[in-house]
Chains A and B, each alone.
Chain A
Amino acid sequence: MKPFTWLAPDTTAGAVAMLREHAPDARAIAGGQSLLLALKDRSARPTHLVSLSGIDELTGVRTADDGSLVVGAATTYAVLARASLAGWHGVLAEVAGDLADRPVRNRGTIGGALCTADPRYDMPAFAIGVGAGLRVSGASGDRAVAAEDFAEGAGVTALGPDEILTAVVLPPLAAWDTVAFEKFRHRVFDAAIVSVTCALRQGPDGTVAETRLAVGGATPVPVTAPVAAALLAEGASAAEVGTRAADEVLPGGTTGGEAVRYRHELIRSLVRRAVDRALSDVRTV
C-alpha cells in the first residue's frame, strides 16, 4: 500500500466535493473488499480515500412510492441477505447471501460490486438481468444510469472521477412475475464462471409476455440475450433458448479454445435451468 489521506464525510455532497477536490487520484471506498486488495498489491495507488460508510443515506433498503426497491449503494451483502423482501425482490437477498463468504459479506457492498465491474461478480449481472437503474451523484448533479450501461469494460464504469454511485433501484414488483438466478463457480467463495438471470412476466392469458436474460462472466461486461429471450414467447423450449443464448453471447463459442467452449456450454446449461425454474415458478404461482 502507498500512503493516502483518509477522508470520512457524512453526506453524499461532502463526499462528492472531496472527490472533486482531489481528482483524479481520489477513490471512494465503501466496504473496501475489492479496493483493499488492489491497494495492498499496489495496483491501485490513490492519494485520498473517501469513505462512504459514514453516510447514512447510502445504506439501507426501502420501497419507493412507485413500488421500486431502492438499495443504498453502501448496503452490505449481509444486510441484504437478511432483508425480508417481497416477491422477486427476495432474489436479491438470495443472491447476496450466496456469494463470496460470510466475513466478506459482512463488509462488501452492492455498490462496491457494481463499481468494481468484475465481469464475474453476481450483482452487476443480476442488476442488468432485472433491468435495474442506478443513481449517481456527482459534482455536476445527479443522474440515472441503466445498470446495463454502467459497466463499460472489465473494471471500467461510466462513473466520472467525481461521481458516486448512491443507489441501485430495482423496478417495482409488477415489472416481473418471477426472477431466477443461476450460476456456476468452482468453490463456494469463488466468483461465478458464468451466471444467468432470467426475469419473466406473463400476459393476462398466462403466456409469456416478456423475458429478460442476462449472462455474466462470459464477456467483459454482463450482457443481455434479447434474441434468445424473445424465443420463449414464441414457444421455444428452455433448452432451445439456452442454445440460442449461448450463441448470442459467445458467437463462435463452439469452435473457440477450451475456456470459450466451456463458457458456451455453461451458458446453455444455466440458461436452460434458469428458464425452467422461472417457468415452473410462474406456473405454480
Chain B
Amino acid sequence: MQKVTLTVNGREVTAEIDERTLLLEFVRDTAGLTGTHNGCMEARCGCCAIEVDGDVVKSCNVLAVQVNGAEVTTIEGLSPQKLGPVQQVTTQTLAGVYEPLDAIRSSVEDLHPLQAAFHRCHALQCGFCTPGMVMVLKDYLEENPAPCRDDVRKAIAGNLCRCTGYQHIVDAAMEAAEVMRGAGATTTDD
C-alpha cells in the first residue's frame, strides 16, 4: 500500500492505495468522480483523458503513484456544480427545470466554452467519449488557439467516437477556439 495525495479539481484527496491503482481508478473510485470513463484500458479510446499538472494524459495508462502530489483536472472540474448562496437558489433553479433553452445555450459562465460548443453543435450523441474529447481539446486549444480543422482532427486522433463521425466535434472545437481566443487565451503563433 502506498499513500498518495492528489489535488483533484482543487480538492486535496489523500488515500492509502494499492500500488496497482491506476490514475483512472483513483479519480473514479477514490475521488468519486465518474465523469472520467473507462472505455478500453488500452490507452487507445481516449475516454479517460484528464489533465495532470496541465498536461492531458490517458489516465488508464498512468499509475496513481506515478503522479503523487500532482494537480489533476477532470471533466467535473470544468463546470463545477452550481452552489450559490441559499437566498439566490430555488429548488427550481437547482433542478434546472424552468431554465429556458436559451439560457442553457448561452450559459458560458457555467460551462467551459468547449462544453457549450459541444451542446450547440450536437457534438455528442451517447456522450461516453465526450469527457475525454473535451479534456484533450482543452489541452490542445490552450496551446494552439487558432487551429485549422485538419489540425483539430489530428489533435483528437487518439480519441475514438463511434457515434458522431467527428464532424460536429470538429465544428464544436472550432467554435470553442473562437470563444477561448476572445476569452483571453494566448495569441496564435501560427
Say if the two chains contact directly (CB < 8 Å): yes
Q: Are B20 and A103 in contact (CB under 8 A)?
A: no
Q: Mark B51-69, 1 if CB is under 8 A from A, else 0.
A: 0100111100111011000
Counting CB contacts under 8 A, is B35 at the interface?
no
Counting CB contacts under 8 A, is A5 at the interface?
yes
Looking at A32, A106, A188, the one whose CB has the most chain B CB atoms below 10 A away is A106
**Contact A102 to B140, CB < 8 A, known contacts A36-B61, A78-B55, A189-B157:** yes
A95 to B46, CA, bound (A): 22
Counting CB contacts under 8 A, is B41 at the interface?
yes
Contact of A103 among B18, B41, B154, B158 (CB under 8 A): B158
Contact of A104 among B65, B155, B158 (CB under 8 A): B158
A: interface residue count bin: 20 to 34
Q: Are B157 and A101 in contact (CB under 8 A)?
A: yes
A37 to B41, CA, bound (A): 8
Query: Which residues on B sit within 8 Å (CB–CB) of A102?
Result: 56, 136, 139-140, 155, 157-158
Q: Are B18 and A104 in contact (CB under 8 A)?
A: no
The total of interchain contacts (Cβ-Cβ below 8 angstroms) comes to 75
Contact of A36 among B52, B55, B62, B140 (CB under 8 A): B62
A29 to B158, CA, bound (A): 22
Query: Which residues on B sit within 8 Å (CB–CB) of A157?
Result: none
Interface size of B by CB at 8 A reads 28
Query: Which residues on A sit within 8 Å (CB–CB) of B109?
Result: none
A39 to B62, CA, bound (A): 11
A188 to B155, CA, bound (A): 10
Min C-beta distance of B50 to chain A, whole Å: 9
Interface residues of A (CB under 8 A from B): 1-6, 8, 29, 32-33, 36-37, 39-40, 49, 51, 53, 78, 100-104, 106-107, 187-189
Residue on B nearest A5 in the bound complex, by CB = B19
A51 to B63, CA, bound (A): 11
Q: Are B43 and A1 in contact (CB under 8 A)?
A: no
Counting CB contacts under 8 A, is B2 at the interface?
yes
Counting CB contacts under 8 A, is B49 at the interface?
yes
Q: Are B61 and A3 in contact (CB under 8 A)?
A: no
Q: Are A103 and B65 in contact (CB under 8 A)?
A: no
Query: Which residues on B sit within 8 Å (CB–CB) of A4?
Result: 19-20
Q: Are A37 and B55 in contact (CB under 8 A)?
A: no
Contact of B154 among A5, A37, A188 (CB under 8 A): A188
Q: Are A33 and B19 in contact (CB under 8 A)?
A: no
Query: Which residues on B sit within 8 Å (CB–CB) of A104?
Result: 43, 58, 61, 158
